[in-house]
Structure 1
Amino acid sequence: MDIGQLVTAIGPWAIALGAGFEGETAAVAGGVMANHGLFPAWAAFLATAFGAFFADQLFFQIGRRFRDRPFVVHARQKPVFARAVGFIERWPTGFIFAYRFLYGFRVVSPIAIGLSHIPLRRFAALNGLACLLWSAVFTTLGYLFGPAVDRALKAMAPYKTEILIALPVPGTCLLIWWLWRKHRQRRRERLNPPFHAPEIQ
């Protein structure tokens, strides 16, 4: 079996795993791979939706069954967790549909929902529909813009030496920006200790 056949065989499973625990990048990659004919577009779409659904259900069960374990306690200490709790209390159905599209909410939200009064069946039904919608959006983006990425790479090929020389410049700037953000975050945490959200019965 050559590398192309291997990617074709395990590609959807890799996309499912990535979509569940990494997110949009894997979903878009699935669309790009489908555009290249490595596997059908429907396989990329279903794999992305399945991976997202499985991960969400797993985190929901972790929140519901292991609320006192360190992983859940750590998640509850994050500032975004308290915001998720507020959204769940005000707009439970809308939030279940929306949180996958909100930056920073993807992991803590199903844990918070697991700690809430929302029944498993209701969450599973709404989460399934939300994952199908999310998968359709990002898989389609990858499928449609895959050719544009290829054209951009081919256009840059004659300048690969210049690009390799220039790459350290934005990389260094990005590293400095990231270190500056981490410094500001640590400073805010020292000045404002994290809020501990009350347990939802």
Structure 2
Amino acid sequence: MAEFWADWGMVAYLAAAAWAFFEGETFVLLAAAAGRATGAIDPWLLMLSVWVGSFLGDQLWFTLGRKYGSKAVQKIPGAERKLASAIGFLERYGVLFVLTFRFVYGVRNVASAACGIAKMPWSRFAALNFIAAGLWAGSFVAAGWYIVGWLGEKGTLYALGSIGVAVVLYLGYRVVQYWRRPPPPAATQAPEEG
């Protein structure tokens, strides 16, 4: 991570923003930890870049939800269930939901779209989203930055290695699951009348 920043300089911050546009908790934690360990990454610039990226990503999903409704998220596996759940939480918790949904892994994009589908006013969502993106960016940069201080450099390397192994195992599990799933049923056609 530090080598990436050393090689790419300011472009690396743009890459961090792009990563946060889609998701990026792990990336932000690792970048902040690498910054603390090496001094190669400015935590303030990192926070600003992922704040902007996260904000813009959620604004896009909000806009897609508003314009296309539930069709905007149908291609995401399990999205319909997540969408129904997100709309229920939005109706129940309102502002609190918008400020906290990005801290729940795997629902961020669906939750932003849910706010658009629920016809939340654009200006209200944009203001809440901006605040929430800042809270998210600050929290994860600070967490990554202070993990190194808490665990020490050697402990951080072990922790990062463990995370890497866990990610590889999870991806392997998902690939095996994909290969093992039964093929979709073949569509049957009615015999043609002649």
Distance 1:172 1:132 in 2: 30
Indicate the SS of the match to 1:150.
helix
> Is 1:97–2:92 an aligned residue pair?
no
Asked whether the equivalents of residues 34 and 44 of structure 1 are also in contact (C-alpha less than 8 Å), the reply is: no
2:111 is aligned with what amino acid?
Answer: S
2:117 is aligned with what amino acid?
Answer: L
Distance 1:123 1:141 in 2: 26
Q: Which ranges in structure 1 are unaligned for 5 or more consecutive residues?
A: 156-162, 188-201
Q: 1:179 to 1:38 in 2, by over 3 A?
A: closer
2:69 alignment counterpart: 67
- More deviation, 72-81/15-24: 72-81
Indicate the SS of the match to 2:87.
helix
1:126 alignment counterpart: 128
Distance 1:124 1:9 in 2: 27
State TM-score, norm by structure 1. Answer: 0.70
Distance 2:137 2:167 in 1: 31
User: Which protein, 1 or 2, shows the higher relative CO under an 8 Å CA cutoff with sep ≥ 6?
Assistant: 1
1:30 alignment counterpart: 31
The alpha-carbon deviation at position 127 of structure 1 amounts to 0.7
1:78-117 matched pairs, under 5 angstroms: 78-117=80-119
Q: 1:153 to 1:111 in 2, by over 3 A?
A: closer
Distance 1:82 1:175 in 2: 27
1:114 is aligned with what amino acid?
Answer: G
Q: 1:134 to 1:172 in 2, by over 3 A?
A: closer
- More deviation, 118-127/10-19: 10-19
Asked whether the equivalents of residues 7 and 38 of structure 1 are also in contact (C-alpha less than 8 Å), the reply is: no
Q: Which ranges in structure 2 are unaligned for 5 or more consecutive residues?
A: 183-194
State TM-score, norm by structure 2. Answer: 0.73
- Render the CA deviation track for 1:49-89: whole Å, top value 9, x for unaligned: 111101000111111123375x4344595211100010111
Distance 1:175 1:108 in 2: 22
| Percentage of pairs with the same residue | 28
- Render the CA deviation track for 1:66-118: whole Å, top value 9, x for unaligned: 3375x434459521110001011121101001111112211100011111121
The alpha-carbon deviation at position 31 of structure 1 amounts to 1.1
